[in-house]
Amino acid sequence: MPHDVIIVGAGITGAAIARELSRYKLKVLLLEKEAEPAFGVSKSNSGIIHAGTQNPPSSLKGWLCVEGNRLLREELAADLGLNFVQCGQLIVIFDEADLPELEAIKAEGTALGVKGMALVDRAWLDANEPNLGPGVKAALLVPSAGIISPYRYVYALVENAVKNGVELKTSSKVIGVNRIEKGGFYVEAGGQVYTTKFLVNAAGLHADEISGLAGAPSFKITPRKGEEYLLDRKREHIANRIIFPLPTKTSKGILIIKTSDGNPMIGPTAHDADDKADLSTTDAGLQEVLDGARRMMPSISKSDIIAYFAGLRPVSGKDFIIRHEDAAPGLVNAAGIQSPGLTSAPAIAVMVADLLRKHGLPLEPKEQFHRLRPRPAHLFQVPLEETRRLIEKNPAYGDIVCRCELVSAQEVRDAVKRGAVTLDGVKFRTRAQAGRCHGGFCTTRILKIMQEELGFPVTALTKRGPGSELIKEERK
Ligand SMILES: Cc1cc2nc3c(=O)[nH]c(=O)nc-3n(C[C@H](O)[C@H](O)[C@H](O)COP(=O)(O)OP(=O)(O)OC[C@H]3O[C@@H](n4cnc5c(N)ncnc54)[C@H](O)[C@@H]3O)c2cc1C
C-alpha cells in the first residue's frame, strides 16, 4: 500500500487532520480539487473562534468547539505563528424579559466547560462598548471567544503538515473511489490512481458525494448560505468584542464581527439553498444584515460597506458527522462540518486520528515532529519599529505593492515561496488586493512577482485556478 491515509479536501478540517496525522510514522496524502487549499467553505466565513456557547451540551459540535478553542489558544496559535486575537464576545438582549435566555446559554456553556462568562448590565456596556444602541439592555460576556484569519489558519496547518512529510496534491479532484477486496481503497484523482488503507473524507459541501463513492451513501449535505458584508477599516474600533444577538433556531444570528485584519464585518445570513456553487449575494440579504447589525449598533451605515461575499455551510442535520463507516471499512467521514467547524477543526482532527487508531491504523510517533512554524512577516500587523527593522534587513519590505493594505513586494514573494500559485492565494496570505481598490493598482505588480518566482508565462497565471486567467496574450 503506498499510502496509509488519503484525506480528501484541504479546508480547515482536512488541513487539521493532515497536521495531526503528520505527528506519526505514516504516509499521508492530502488531495484538493482546487488550485490551492482553503478555497472552499474555509475561505468564506466569519473567522470567529467560538467559545462553545450556543451549542447544546448534548451535541458533538459543542464539545469539539470548546476543545478546538482551547487547542488553538493554548498551543496552535503560538506553535504555528498565527495571529489569534482573544477579544471575547457579547450576546446582547433588547428586553430584560430575555435574561433567562442568557442564563440558559450561560448554564449550557458552563456544562461544556466554557470559562469566565458573566452577565453584564447597561452601565458596564456603556463603559466597555459605547457604540451599542440604546435598545440593548444587558449581555452575556464570554471572554474565551476570539478572531483569526481563516485562510491563514488553513495555510499554516497545511504548511506545517507538509514540513512534517504529508504530501499535498492540489488540482486533484477525487472522481472515483473503489474498495479493494482485501481492504483499503483505490482513489482516482487528477489523472492518477492512488491506493490507501484508510480514506478520510473532509470534502465539505461534497462530503456526501465522496462518502457515496466510497460505499457509504448515508447522508445528504444541504448548503446553508451566509452572506457577509465587510466594512471599511476606518470603522475598525466600532466594537471591542464580537457582538451577537440571541441565537435563532438555525443560526447564531446577524453579528458585528471584529476581524483579525482590522475591517469589521456584519453578517451572516443563514438560509438553506439548493445549489452548492451559488455564492451570490442578494439585496434581501444585504437588507437583513444591515437591519440586524443596526439594531445593535445604529451608527453602521450602508456606505461603510466595501466588499461582500457569501459562504455555504455544509449542513446535514443539526450536528457534525464524524465516524468510521462500517459499511465501507477504512472510511472515516468528517462531514456536515457546519459552524463552528473553523473552531472545532483541531479537536475534530484528534477525534479522527483516534477513530483511525481504533480501526487498525498504528499511530507511532515520529522521532522528530516539527511542531513550530515561523510566523510570516506582515507589515499591517507589526509596529513601525519592526517595519523599520525588516526594511533595514531587506529593502524589499519597503517596496510597497498594495497601498490600500500596506503590503510589500517581499511579502508577496514570501507568499509565493510558501505555496501561493494564484492571485487569490496571494490575497488570502498577504491581504494585497483586499482593500478599497480591489487590486486596481497592485494586480500587475503582483503578477510580475509571481511570474518571476514561479517561472510561468503571465498568460498561465490565474485569479483562482484554471478558467480565471487574466491575460490572454503576451506581446513582446
Ligand atoms: C457564512 C459562514 C460563516 C461561518 N463562520 C464561522 C465562524 O465564525 N467560526 C466557525 O468556527 N465556523 C464558521 N463557519 C463554518 C466553517 O466555515 C466551516 O465549518 C468550515 O470551514 C468547514 O471546513 P471544511 O474543511 O470541512 O470544508 P471546506 O473548507 O469546504 O473544505 C473542503 C475541501 O474539500 C475540497 N473538495 C471537495 N470535493 C472534493 C473532491 N471531490 N476532491 C478533492 N477535493 C474536494 C473542496 O474544494 C474544499 O477545499 C462559517 C461558515 C459560513 C458559510
Q: What is the pLDDT along the chain (476 residues), one digit of tens a residue?
A: 699 999 999 999 999 999 999 999 999 999 999 999 999 999 999 999 999 998 999 999 999 999 999 999 999 999 999 999 999 999 999 999 999 999 999 999 999 999 999 999 999 999 999 999 999 999 999 999 999 999 999 999 999 999 999 999 999 999 999 999 999 999 999 999 999 999 999 999 999 999 999 999 889 999 999 999 999 989 999 999 999 999 987 788 999 999 988 899 999 999 999 999 999 999 999 999 999 999 999 999 999 999 999 999 999 999 999 999 999 999 999 999 999 999 999 999 999 999 999 999 999 999 999 999 999 999 998 999 999 999 999 999 999 999 999 999 999 999 999 999 999 999 999 999 988 888 999 999 999 999 999 999 999 999 999 999 999 888 77
Ranges of each domain in the chain: 1-83+147-221+316-375, 89-143+222-314, 379-460
Of 45, 177, 193, the one to substitute when testing ligand 1's pocket (max ligand atoms within 8 A of C-beta) is: 45
Pocket lining for ligand 1, CB < 6 angstroms: 8-14, 31-34, 39-42, 44-48, 50, 173-174, 202-206, 210, 226, 228, 268, 311-313, 337-343
SS (H, E, C) 79-140: HCCCCCECCCEEEEECCHHHHHHHHHHHHHHHHHCCCCCEEEEHHHHHHHCCCCCCCCCEEE
Report the 10 Å Cβ neighbour count for 433.
Answer: 24
Asked about 50 being catalytic, the answer comes back as: yes
pLDDT of the residue at 473: 87
What is the number of the ligand 1 atom nearest to the C-alpha of 339? 15
Q: What would the CATH number be for the domain defined by 1-83+147-221+316-375?
A: 3.50.50.60
* 257 CA: nearest ligand 1 atom: 8
Q: What is the CATH number of domain 379-460?
A: 1.10.10.1100
Ligand 1 atom at shortest distance from the alpha carbon of 203? 34
Beta bridge pairs of residue 198? 5
3-state secondary structure of 395: helix
Fold of 89-143+222-314: D-Amino Acid Oxidase; Chain A, domain 2 (3.30.9)
Q: Give the predicted TM-score (pTM) of the model.
A: 0.97
Look at residues 278, 287, 151 and name the one whose alpha carbon lies nearest to residue 223. Answer: 278
The values of phi and psi at residue 284, to 5°, are: -65, -40
Question: What is the whole-number distance in angstroms between the Cα of residue 349 and the centre of ligand 1?
Answer: 14
Confidence at residue 1, expressed as pLDDT on a 0 to 100 scale: 61
H-run or E-run covering 324: strand 321-324
Residue nearest to atom 31 of ligand 1 (CA): 11
Rounded to the nearest angstrom, the distance between the alpha carbon of 340 and the centre of ligand 1 is 10
pLDDT at residue 475 in the model: 79
Atom 18 of ligand 1, nearest CA residue: 341
**How confident is the model at residue 261, as a pLDDT?**
87
Q: Which of the listed residues 30, 34, 46, 288 should we mutate to test ligand 1's pocket, taking the one with most ligand atoms within 8 A of CB?
A: 46
| Catalytic pick among 50, 206, 324, 378 | 50
DSSP reduced 3-state for 312: strand
